[in-house]
């Protein structure tokens, strides 16, 4: 691997959040207090050293920034007040931009104006499409004597657009994850993982993705943070399943009884998203802990969008049950605008990415360790 020193690296990374890397003298206190630091995983110390020395290639090839769950103990106990937790967060933003070859992530984190422009532009797309549909049909499908949501927004058309959108965003995430894989596990490196190594770790990939359980190893005092994050992930996945996989069943004009699974699945997802996003936003707004001192606008955007999407979804539900056509149609439009804006500006680009990149980093590191153990075993037996 190249060890070329890039003197501009710390100035480049500073644009993604924490601006001063000189306070850290690499005393090792942050590594000593970190419950997740073990063996050759010595973060945040190693990551900060890479930044200070300008070792760009080593930093891009490191999975360690994603193995940090930002519990904040390193920042709270840093004798130099160097904010190592925020440095790790800043590096993760920068790495997200390195994986995204389209440049959208770099613009998203580099300029608040560009971030909000992307949000507004994405949010207007569904409103424009609905407007064009109704102009083309001369508003004949707008029923006003009762609520007919599937006439206002035909579920077959909406579902087709959802699936296309899902495929586009899925490709974005897969492409970025592939860049991350090639960076951390370069071809031709030693040891080279085999297909059997990847297959053996698929179970752990699924577990880390669904539970984010590694967070629990940060200590008992952080169990609540893990639970909130798990609530958010579970609610998000349930809602994603309902919208992408089961929209024809989920978006209906029929009012099902309370015990119907369509209702309690939707209620669970909504409650989980509202509860988790409110707790996260309240925590950021208080800013009592030093680790929140450098909270970026992009850190607020994802939970704020989840809350807006959930609340507008609740209002659509209430207006539909009340039999109010225009409030239902108007709020449905606002709801779809918020959801599309969130997905376009977050998936594979913004704060959303850590839900995928963290378990992916665990997976790639486990694959590497398995390959190393196999190579060591082969050498020991020769």
pLDDT(320) > 60: yes
The secondary structure of residue 110, as a DSSP letter, is H
Query: In whole angstroms, what is the distance from residue 320 CA to residue 258 CA?
Result: 15
pLDDT at 17: 84
Query: In whole angstroms, what is the distance from residue 96 CA to residue 105 CA?
Result: 7
- Which residues are paired to 38 by β-bridges? 41
Residues with Cβ within 8 Å of 203's Cβ and at least 6 positions away in sequence, in order, are none
pLDDT tens digit string along 329-378? Answer: 999 999 999 999 999 988 888 888 988 999 999 999 999 988 888 877 76
pLDDT at 382: 40
Query: In whole angstroms, what is the distance from residue 269 CA to residue 231 CA?
Result: 9
pLDDT at 266: 93
- Quote the pTM value: 0.90
Query: In whole angstroms, what is the distance from residue 97 CA to residue 13 CA?
Result: 10
Q: Which has more confidence, 18 or 365? A: 365
- Sole residue written with tokens 């958010």: 232
DSSP states along 338-369: HHHHHHHHHTTTSGGGHHHHHHHHHHHHHHHH
Query: In whole angstroms, what is the distance from residue 170 CA to residue 147 CA?
Result: 33
Query: In whole angstroms, what is the distance from residue 283 CA to residue 382 CA?
Result: 56
Region 205-225: mean pLDDT is: 84
pLDDT at 381: 43
Query: In whole angstroms, what is the distance from residue 12 CA to residue 35 CA?
Result: 29
Query: In whole angstroms, what is the distance from residue 90 CA to residue 294 CA?
Result: 10
Residue spans of the domains in the chain: they are 9-99, 104-368
Structure tokens at 278: 């409110």
Region 188-195: mean pLDDT is: 81
- Which residues are paired to 41 by β-bridges? 38
The secondary structure of residue 41, as a DSSP letter, is B
């Amino acid at each position: 691997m190249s060890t070329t020193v890039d003197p501009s690296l710390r100035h480049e990374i500073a644009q993604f959040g924490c601006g001063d890397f000189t306070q850290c003298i690499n005393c090792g206190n942050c590594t000593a207090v970190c419950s997740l630091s073990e063996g050759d995983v010595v973060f945040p110390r190693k990551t900060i050293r890479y930044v200070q020395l300008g070792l760009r290639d080593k930093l891009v090839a490191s999975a360690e920034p994603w193995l940090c769950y930002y519990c904040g103990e390193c920042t709270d106990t840093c004798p130099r007040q160097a904010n190592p937790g925020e440095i790790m967060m800043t590096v993760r933003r920068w790495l997200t931009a390195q994986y995204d070859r389209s440049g959208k992530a770099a613009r998203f984190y580099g300029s608040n104006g560009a971030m909000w422009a992307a949000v507004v532009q994405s949010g207007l797309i569904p409103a424009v499409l609905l407007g064009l549909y109704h102009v083309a049909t001369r508003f004949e499908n707008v029923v006003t004597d009762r609520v007919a949501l599937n006439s206002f927004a035909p579920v077959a058309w909406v579902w087709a657009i959802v699936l296309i959108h899902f495929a586009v965003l899925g490709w974005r995430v897969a492409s970025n994850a592939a860049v991350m894989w090639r960076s951390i596990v370069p071809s031709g490196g030693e040891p080279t993982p085999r297909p059997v190594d990847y297959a053996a770790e698929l179970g752990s990939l699924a577990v880390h993705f669904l539970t984010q359980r590694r967070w629990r190893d940060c200590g008992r005092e952080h169990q609540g943070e893990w639970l909130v994050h798990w609530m958010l992930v579970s609610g998000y996945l349930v809602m994603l399943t309902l919208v992408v996989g089961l929209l024809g069943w989920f978006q209906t004009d029929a009012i099902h009884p309370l015990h119907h699974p369509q209702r309690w699945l939707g209620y669970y997802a909504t409650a989980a998203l509202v509860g988790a996003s409110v707790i996260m936003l309240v925590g950021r707004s208080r800013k009592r802990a030093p680790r929140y001192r450098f909270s970026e606008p992009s850190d607020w955007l994802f939970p704020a969008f989840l809350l807006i999407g959930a609340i507008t979804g609740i209002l659509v539900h209430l207006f539909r049950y009340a039999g109010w056509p225009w409030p239902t149609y108007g709020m449905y439009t606002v709801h779809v605008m918020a959801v599309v804006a969130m997905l376009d500006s977050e998936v594979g680009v913004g704060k959303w990415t850590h839900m995928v990149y963290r378990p992916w980093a665990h997976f790639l590191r486990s694959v590497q360790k398995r390959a190393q153990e196999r190579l060591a075993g082969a050498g020991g037996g020769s």
